[in-house]
Structure 1
Amino acid sequence: MSDGDQAPGSAIKRFLRDKLAVNRAVGYMLITRGWQFFAAPVTIYLIYKFFGEDLQGYYYLFHSLLAAQIFFELGLNHILSLLASHEWSHLKFNEAGEVIGEQRAFERLSTISQFGDRWYRFMLLLFLPGLIIGGLIVIQNPDQPTSFWKFPWVVAVVLNAISLTYQPRLAVLEGCNQVTTVNFVRMFQAVIGSLVVWTAILSGWGIWTVAAANSVRLGWEIFLVNFRYRTMFKSLKSNSETDRFSWKDEAWPLQWRLAIQSIGGYFSSYFFIPVIDQFYGKAAAGRMGMTWSIVSNLQAASLSWVQTRMPEFGMLVAKRKIAELEQKMLRIGAISVSLFLSAGGAFVAGVWLLTYFNSDAANRFLTPGQVGFLVLATLFLQLSWVMHSYVRLFKKDPFLLQNVISASITGISAVYFGRHYGVTGIVVSYFLISICYTIPVSSWLLLAHRKTIKPHDDASSEKPSA
């Protein structure tokens, strides 16, 4: 069959592969995000139909507080994935699903995996009481009986805590270039999770819907780690830890920086909802929560192009193929940012149409102008995220001071401008910080890092593929 006679499906596959750099891992994640994009309007409609404005506020406030899991992960997920990717370049699976290959790399990967398990088990002891008590303090509302939200909150935290213990192994899996399988499972997780949420809302479960959704997430993580990759982790655990890997020397210099920045990341995103709740109540927090959930989902979908290739990029660094790395990352990063800009613009237009036609649904979102500033701020932050990811592939992180300053300014601005100028004050200050500070400083630090890459790194690289 000639090129001109090839089936339309083949042409579409070639376009996705060659023009948009869509591989199977990205494809599964895109299906997941596509489902979430389809499911989000259904969920939003059901929340609008069956939740009052205050209950909507509780729903998104729960999600924003559960995101405080960042304070306990302390950037370790990214570190585990990065370190595993460097070792996996010398390893593979045998037919039984066990890890085999270079002995030194195997021992190091085993140590990395076991350290991650210990770290998260320790964090579990802090996570449970810390988040339960913190939530009981923040969520309290004199207009609602405590029993309305207290028990659902405790159950949601317990489920999240158990899920926390599975995060290190999921990170190791992604670092071992198993992103395709992980994303395949997450695709089913997203579909079933949405169906459970819809069923819970229609059945009148109210705020218990959050706990129901968390139980689905935990169930799929148990399946992936304890069943699908049971042999892999059993083979890694059978190997006693060695001194071939020094966490203090190789990982901690990067992790403590990521930890501080992860904490700062909370104040740059999820912190807005509790602030609005404290000043303007559950209904206003619900509008911010629903708007932010859509913007963050659009960003997550567009970041799929970069995130699913981080193990591949890590292996290129390990092999010192710097020219090929930069060529691929520049292209993938441009696709990611462009897609978010397009999707974000469509969302702003959608909210404007709801407002123009005086739809009651418009009252559940921020105003079109506020949404526009939020989308633009997120766009610039996504661009800076791509820059940061490139540098961190080299086990370096010069962004600590920048991110601490950015998070501090963002948190302080959210409280000050939110109190005096409402939601508009928060989103406009968020936008100004991203364009006037985050982007210029990130660009400067990226260029400074590139100057430290020695010329012979490229000389030893293979010629990039066309």
Structure 2
Amino acid sequence: MQVDKKTLAVLAQRGWQAGAGLITLFCIARYLSPAEQGYYYTFASLAGLQALLDMGLSTILVQQAAHEFAELNWLPHGAVVGENVGRYLALTRKALCWYAVSGLLFLLAYPAGLYFFGNRPQELDLAWQQPWLILVISTAVSLTLLPVLALVEGSGKVVEVYSLRLVQGIVGAIAIWFTLLEGGGLYAVAMMPASAALIALVWALFRYPKLWASALFRTTGDFAWWRELWPMQWRLGISWLCGYFLTQMHTPLLFQTQNAVVAGQMGVTMTVCNMLGLLSLAWMTSRIPVLAKAAGQQEWDLLDNEFSKGFKRSLAVFVMGAMFFVLIRYAADYTAYGVRFLPFWETVVLIGAILFAHISGLLAIYLRAHRKEPFLWLSLSGALLTVSGSVWLAPIWGSAGIVSVLLAVNVGFGFPTSLLMWVMLRKKWHATI
């Protein structure tokens, strides 16, 4: 495994996220009851609806900033100089405004959550209203600050941004552990977004004050958002929303159709699978600015070479991590913590489903580097199949029905279709662009 400086920064952040996540899982199992665990992960899954307001824009901003910053340079305190600097500053201003409105809209999740959790028989007597309120507010603030990191990362400062995310992860994880240790219960679920928001705000104000001041008050250029970004944004937004239904909807669904205990089992098992995906994506995530720049300049050999290296290493890490998790899950059945996960064979099926979804995601990164979103209808179709199948089978078979649907959709539809699209579009675009 060759690791360059950028990949090392991403890997450090993702590695901490995975390692700290395992400690968090242990703390949740130690200090929360099985039903409280279900509430914890259902809270987290519903907070993931911020993807509806993000609409994939954070990913697009990284790629767009990479294109806009090609002829620009940084000066101290976040000042930007170079040809067409006005476009970059205009992009920054409009992104900040978009996410400010998104953060305000996300606050509506609070009354929606009151209805969701209050419109069913309580399985235990616990005060969940205040933790839910704090989670919604902290997630809204964190959402507002998303473009700050994306725009700087796209300029090429991958190491700095992922070092910041590492600090956010460390502080957030420690805050979660301390809250659980001190008996804070469900308040722990809000510690990560709250810590991330505070650290990002301090970093942006002290590290790049001139960038935000110039973008908000002294912008002279213009950026045609609706013409240049929106056509891809709404497509990627639908894809991201579909991704939510493919990975996050199952815990709330089981919470409603089964009980909080089963929801907690799905939540903790899916969390480990998602951590595997995040960790293995480090070898590809660090290359996104390079891929976007190579595609923009039609350097196809560089694009293919960087993608090939990232793809092979990402896939290898996922497979090795999955094998390790399967062994750990098997051993857990001989301890008191085995009941906190899905049954063993359901766990194996879920890992297989996430593996094929991971491969499809890697192929999507390559195609999106061309500033296009060809996976819209694929994502929408996959989400509709998953949602309809899960809603049908969850009340009957519970978690077994959901993991079966995920495996069938990802292996039988998502992976072969995405591979076929990758082969055809790569040949078409590289021949005509």
Alignment of 1:208-247 (within 5 A): 208-243=187-222, 245-247=223-225
Equivalent residue for 1:346? 324
Distance 1:147 1:419, change over 3 A: closer
Unaligned runs of 5+ in 2: none
Whether the aligned pair in 1 keeps the contact of 2:287 and 2:306 (CA below 8 Å) is no
Alpha-carbon distance, 1:213 to partner = 2.8
Partner Cα separation in structure 2 for residue 354 and residue 189 of structure 1: 30
Whether the aligned pair in 2 keeps the contact of 1:21 and 1:332 (CA below 8 Å) is no
Equivalent residue for 1:11? none
Alpha-carbon distance, 1:144 to partner = 5.8
Equivalent residue for 1:101? 82
Equivalent residue for 2:184? 205
- Quick one: which amino acid aligns to residue 69 of structure 2? W
Q: Which has the larger radius of gyration?
A: 1
Alpha-carbon distance, 1:456 to partner = 8.4
Indicate yes or no: 2:68 matched with 1:119: no
Indicate yes or no: 2:409 matched with 1:441: no
Distance 1:312 1:345, change over 3 A: same
Equivalent residue for 2:350? 374
TM-score between both structures, scaled by the size of structure 1: 0.89
Indicate yes or no: 2:116 matched with 1:138: yes
Equivalent residue for 2:306? 328
Alpha-carbon distance, 1:231 to partner = 2.7
Partner Cα separation in structure 1 for residue 124 and residue 238 of structure 2: 36
Indicate yes or no: 2:406 matched with 1:425: no
Distance 1:75 1:361, change over 3 A: same
Partner Cα separation in structure 2 for residue 113 and residue 238 of structure 1: 11
Distance 1:42 1:394, change over 3 A: closer
Whether the aligned pair in 2 keeps the contact of 1:107 and 1:239 (CA below 8 Å) is no
Equivalent residue for 1:8? none
Alpha-carbon distance, 1:147 to partner = 7.0
Whether the aligned pair in 1 keeps the contact of 2:38 and 2:265 (CA below 8 Å) is yes
Equivalent residue for 1:393? 369
Partner Cα separation in structure 2 for residue 433 and residue 231 of structure 1: 48
Indicate yes or no: 2:125 matched with 1:149: no
Partner Cα separation in structure 2 for residue 124 and residue 354 of structure 1: 40
**What is the aligned residue count?**
432
Equivalent residue for 2:241? 263
Partner Cα separation in structure 1 for residue 220 and residue 235 of structure 2: 25
Whether the aligned pair in 1 keeps the contact of 2:55 and 2:234 (CA below 8 Å) is yes
Partner Cα separation in structure 2 for residue 267 and residue 453 of structure 1: 30
SS at match of 1:452: helix
Partner Cα separation in structure 2 for residue 47 and residue 194 of structure 1: 12
Partner Cα separation in structure 1 for residue 256 and residue 94 of structure 2: 39
Alignment of 1:5-404 (within 5 A): 20-102=1-83, 104=84, 106-129=85-108, 131-140=109-118, 141-143=120-122, 148-243=127-222, 245-355=223-333, 357=334, 359-404=335-380
Whether the aligned pair in 2 keeps the contact of 1:99 and 1:236 (CA below 8 Å) is no
Distance 1:296 1:454, change over 3 A: closer
Partner Cα separation in structure 2 for residue 411 and residue 316 of structure 1: 37
Distance 1:407 1:239, change over 3 A: same
Alpha-carbon distance, 1:228 to partner = 1.8
- Quick one: which amino acid aligns to residue 54 of structure 1? A
TM-score between both structures, scaled by the size of structure 2: 0.95
- Quick one: which amino acid aligns to residue 347 of structure 2? V
SS at match of 2:60: helix
- Quick one: which amino acid aligns to residue 83 of structure 1? Q
Alpha-carbon distance, 1:126 to partner = 1.8
